[in-house]
């Protein structure tokens, strides 16, 4: 359904850019451009209209779009071994959000004093068209839809690789606790692939992962379960290497089940988490939305206060000390 909506609204729009711009843009005065030549046959009204439309288009095209940052979901060692090339893997979620109809949008603009163009035949035709009154329109993210829907093998992109705040501990005997929701799993897939390439980590590796439904957006499901199975096999053979020691899953939209988020799982496993942080100097990595990260650190502070026998200030101080020593590392977005 999402693909069909994308084709209808983006690749094969019912309205042209010329038809959409007057509907969505407020009318405001702009400097008139000089005539290109004295022999121009435009009359004054045509020139004013074309000048205004040109200025509007230029102002929209000039709007700056911030680069999108994606955490790499691959291990250079593993990819070099598998493909023999220098490459990276990304985990990109298609942003698709519902929007109100254009009729409601233009009505809101008019209520706030914006004058919507409405005199041209194109506008009158557009206002009668199906897209103008379509309910529950889908908005697709510019970058995510480009990557997931339009890119083809062989296409060339301009990209910049920036240093990540996520670094594995220099001491391979330090435990690792990873907390992710949705596409925030990306850097931890890179970690796990690195461990597999190295033959394992020398300390416990713990992952808390949250998504909506197990059969819908459990990203890298087969790969994660494979690492866990490899871990179980290593333990049976008395091995000391760790691939994925513990995997805790939280599903927030599972039918017939209460909403469960990663912070709930951390609360359930507070003894394990605090033992690794306090006694074995583990590093806690968090990747996902800002609200999720805030919920995780709040849960950790509360658990620390209860376990250490203190008040809220004691728990907050515990989290603060972890941040100060770089043992809580975050990559988050709004």
For residue 93, give Cα distances in angstroms to 64, 142, 168, 182: 22, 12, 25, 8
Burial 39-53 (b: 16+ CB within 10 A, else e): eeeeeeeeeebebbb
User: pTM of the prediction?
Assistant: 0.74
pLDDT at 196: 92
Structure tokens at 324: 């100060």
Give SS3 for 7.
helix
Give SS3 for 304.
helix
CA quadruple 281, 287, 288, 290: dihedral sign = positive
Please state, in angstroms and rounded to a whole number, the distance separating the CA atoms of residues 297 and 288: 13
Give SS3 for 226.
helix
pLDDT at 51: 47
End-to-end CA distance of the chain: give it in Å, rounded: 27
Alpha helix segments (H runs only) across 90-134: 102-111, 121-128, 130-133
Exposed, middle or buried: residue 294 (CB in 10 Å: 0-12, 13-18, 19+)?
middle
Structure tokens at 38: 């004295």
Q: Which of 270, 298, 284 is nearest to 331 (CA)?
A: 284
Residue-wise pLDDT tens digits, 172-198:
999 999 999 999 999 999 999 999 998
99 φ/ψ angles, rounded to the nearest 5 degrees: -130, 155
Q: Which of 209, 197, 5 is nearest to 82 (CA)?
A: 197
Q: 176-332: which CATH topology?
A: Rossmann fold (3.40.50)
Please state, in angstroms and rounded to a whole number, the distance separating the CA atoms of residues 83 and 88: 11
CA angle 233, 184, 257 (to 5 degrees): 75
Report the chain (334 residues): mean pLDDT per 10 consecutive residues. 48 48 45 40 48 51 68 89 85 85 74 61 60 72 88 88 90 96 96 93 97 94 96 80 96 95 97 96 97 97 90 93 96 90
pLDDT at 322: 97
pLDDT at 306: 92
Site of tokens 């603060």: 320
pLDDT at 42: 43
Please state, in angstroms and rounded to a whole number, the distance separating the CA atoms of residues 23 and 115: 10
pLDDT at 252: 96
For residue 63, give Cα distances in angstroms to 68, 69, 333: 15, 19, 22
Please state, in angstroms and rounded to a whole number, the distance separating the CA atoms of residues 14 and 292: 39
Give SS3 for 279.
helix
Give SS3 for 139.
strand
């Amino acid at each position: 359904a999402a693909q069909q909506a994308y084709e209808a609204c983006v690749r094969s729009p019912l309205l042209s850019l010329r038809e959409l711009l007057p509907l969505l843009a407020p009318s405001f005065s702009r400097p008139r451009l000089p005539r290109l030549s004295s022999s121009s046959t435009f009359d004054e009204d045509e020139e004013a209209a074309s000048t205004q439309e040109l200025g509007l288009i230029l102002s929209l095209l000039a709007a700056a779009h911030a680069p999108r940052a994606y955490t790499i979901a691959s291990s250079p060692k593993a990819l070099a071994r598998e493909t023999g090339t220098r490459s990276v893997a990304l985990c990109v979620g298609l942003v698709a959000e519902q929007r109100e109809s254009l009729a409601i949008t233009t009505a809101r603009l008019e209520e706030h004093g914006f004058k919507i163009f409405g005199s041209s035949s194109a506008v009158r035709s557009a206002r009668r068209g199906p897209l103008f009154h379509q309910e529950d329109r889908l908005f697709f993210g510019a970058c995510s839809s480009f990557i997931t829907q339009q890119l083809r093998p062989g296409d060339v992109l301009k990209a910049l690789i920036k240093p990540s705040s996520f670094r594995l501990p220099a001491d391979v005997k330090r435990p690792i606790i990873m907390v992710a929701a949705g596409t925030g799993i990306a850097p931890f897939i890179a970690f796990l692939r690195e461990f597999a390439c190295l033959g394992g980590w020398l300390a416990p590796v713990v992952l808390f992962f949250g998504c909506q439904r197990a059969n819908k957006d459990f990203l890298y499901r087969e790969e994660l379960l494979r690492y866990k199975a490899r871990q179980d096999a290593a333990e049976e053979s008395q091995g000391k290497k760790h691939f994925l020691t513990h995997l805790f899953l939280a599903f927030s939209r599972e039918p017939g089940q209460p909403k469960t988020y990663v912070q709930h799982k951390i609360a359930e496993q507070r003894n394990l988490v605090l033992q690794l942080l306090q006694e074995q100097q583990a590093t806690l990595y968090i990747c996902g939305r800002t609200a999720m990260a805030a919920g995780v650190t709040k849960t950790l502070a509360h658990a620390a206060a209860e376990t250490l026998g203190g008040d809220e200030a004691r728990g907050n101080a515990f989290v603060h000390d972890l941040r100060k020593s770089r043992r809580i590392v975050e990559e988050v977005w709004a």
